[in-house]
């Protein structure tokens, strides 16, 4: 299916041509938008600036989203999922952004995922918003779950918090991880599905629990892959999560379509609880990728974020090829970069221009505290459509 870049006739915040990403892409009756913060061009200084506190920034970000949706013939009533990337510095004011969102959406309730990030690429930015929309909007499901017309099912961010609002399994990372998976399963069963339908599980934890992260393998093996296909997965580290005592947060996407695993032939995945790519309907959902030698499992190019991005995007292209598609069908990329790689991160744009194609995918970039392998400087979460 053809992807088309969304090009508003009037977009006063900045000139959007010339980047290696699009403001958003349409895919049939749906649209995937890049992450948008409150950044805008200031003619007096000749620079891109970010103004205001959380409320003003959220209003500007959502104004951009509204303009892009309008250019695609859509509106906020068509939005199925909202992802709000909130910085550690802005977290205490996040209720202000939630109030702006409630004002904009009214009685319409898309699934809301909240990713806590160290900071955004614009240092003064507190929030960056990305959305998925489908004409007609989502089906109403319990628990904040939203189903798009194409069968994709989006869960709100799953936290280890019970119905009373209390954090469970305090101090127990593995216990909290298991609780989040079980909670996601309950939410999916409310939609007539289960964790067997999961196509991606992206988790967010902290550097303090990096050493015990491997213990989640048995938890995932017990609960995932029941239909014969493990979901794509990714893991990102942040210095702080949604509230005190929370050691992990989980974002889960599922599908009503039958699942098919996609693997270019990498034997390392034979014993893992995640899959390089998962076909579901006309979508290809993928794991997060970093600069890893798939044979030796050694990190390549430590200290060089541009070289790591080359390896990362080459791996993504291999998965696309194994699925029978190519870079022109890449729908979305989310790039997490570590602080150590930030100085040279601009060079990643050239990597994208060399390896990807027009129309450029929707894209979001954020800074994390670290990745599961300390030598990694960048990890990319991609998604694509099938021709």
Closest alpha carbon to 144 in 104, 102, 191, 180: 191
Q: What is the value of pTM for the model shown?
A: 0.97
CB hemisphere CA count around 127 (13 angstroms):
31
Longest alpha-carbon distance in the chain: 58
Closest alpha carbon to 333 in 314, 311, 352, 347: 352
φ, ψ for residue 369, nearest 5 deg: -80, -25
The secondary element (H helix, E strand) that includes residue 85 is strand 79-87
Query: What angle do the packed helices 305-322 and 347-355 form, to 10 degrees?
Result: 20
Are the CB atoms for 299 and 373 separated by under 8 Å?
A: yes
The secondary element (H helix, E strand) that includes residue 203 is strand 198-205
Closest alpha carbon to 224 in 252, 204, 190: 252
The one-digit pLDDT tens for each residue of the chain (387 residues) are: 689 999 999 999 998 888 899 999 999 999 999 999 999 999 988 899 999 999 999 999 999 999 999 999 999 999 999 999 999 999 999 999 999 999 999 999 999 999 999 999 999 999 999 999 999 999 979 999 999 999 999 999 999 999 999 999 999 999 999 999 999 999 999 999 999 999 999 999 999 999 999 999 999 999 999 989 999 999 999 999 999 999 999 999 999 999 999 999 999 999 999 999 999 999 999 999 999 999 999 999 999 999 999 999 999 999 999 999 999 999 999 999 999 999 999 999 999 999 999 999 999 999 999 999 999 999 999 999 999
């Amino acid at each position: 299916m053809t992807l088309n870049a969304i090009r508003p006739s009037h977009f006063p915040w900045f000139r959007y041509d010339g980047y290696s990403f699009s403001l958003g892409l349409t895919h049939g009756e749906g649209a995937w938008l890049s992450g948008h913060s409150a950044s805008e061009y200031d003619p007096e200084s000749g620079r891109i600036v970010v103004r205001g506190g959380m409320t003003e920034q959220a209003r500007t970000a959502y104004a951009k989203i509204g303009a892009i949706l309008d250019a695609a013939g859509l509106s906020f009533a068509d939005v199925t999922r909202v992802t709000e990337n909130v910085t550690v510095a802005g977290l205490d004011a996040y209720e202000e952004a939630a109030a702006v969102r409630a004002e904009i959406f009214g009685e319409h309730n898309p699934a809301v995922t909240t990713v806590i990030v160290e900071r955004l690429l614009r240092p003064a930015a507190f929030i960056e918003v990305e959305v998925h929309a489908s004409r007609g909007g989502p089906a109403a499901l319990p628990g904040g779950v939203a189903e798009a017309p194409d069968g994709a099912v989006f869960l709100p961010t799953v936290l280890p918090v019970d119905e009373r609002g209390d954090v469970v399994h305090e101090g127990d990372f593995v216990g909290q991880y298991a609780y989040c998976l079980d909670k996601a399963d309950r939410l999916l069963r409310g939609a007539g599905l289960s964790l067997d339908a999961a196509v991606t599980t992206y988790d967010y934890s902290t550097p303090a629990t990096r050493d015990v992260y491997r213990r989640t393998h048995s938890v995932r093996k017990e609960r995932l892959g029941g239909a014969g296909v493990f979901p794509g997965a990714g893991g990102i580290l942040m210095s702080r999560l949604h509230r005190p005592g929370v050691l992990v947060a989980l974002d889960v996407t599922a599908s009503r379509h039958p699942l098919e695993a996609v693997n270019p032939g990498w034997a390392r995945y034979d014993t893992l609880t995640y899959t390089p790519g998962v076909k579901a309907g006309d979508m290809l959902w993928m794991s997060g990728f970093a600069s890893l030698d798939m044979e030796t499992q050694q990190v390549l190019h430590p200290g060089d974020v541009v070289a790591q991005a080359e390896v990362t995007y080459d791996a993504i292209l291999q998965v696309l090829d194994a699925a029978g598609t190519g870079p022109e069908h890449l729908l979305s990329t989310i790039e997490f970069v570590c602080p150590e790689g930030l100085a040279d991160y601009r060079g990643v744009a050239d990597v994208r221009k060399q390896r990807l194609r027009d129309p450029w995918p929707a894209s979001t970039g954020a800074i994390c505290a670290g990745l599961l392998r300390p030598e990694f400087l960048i990890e990319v979460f991609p998604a694509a459509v099938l021709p």
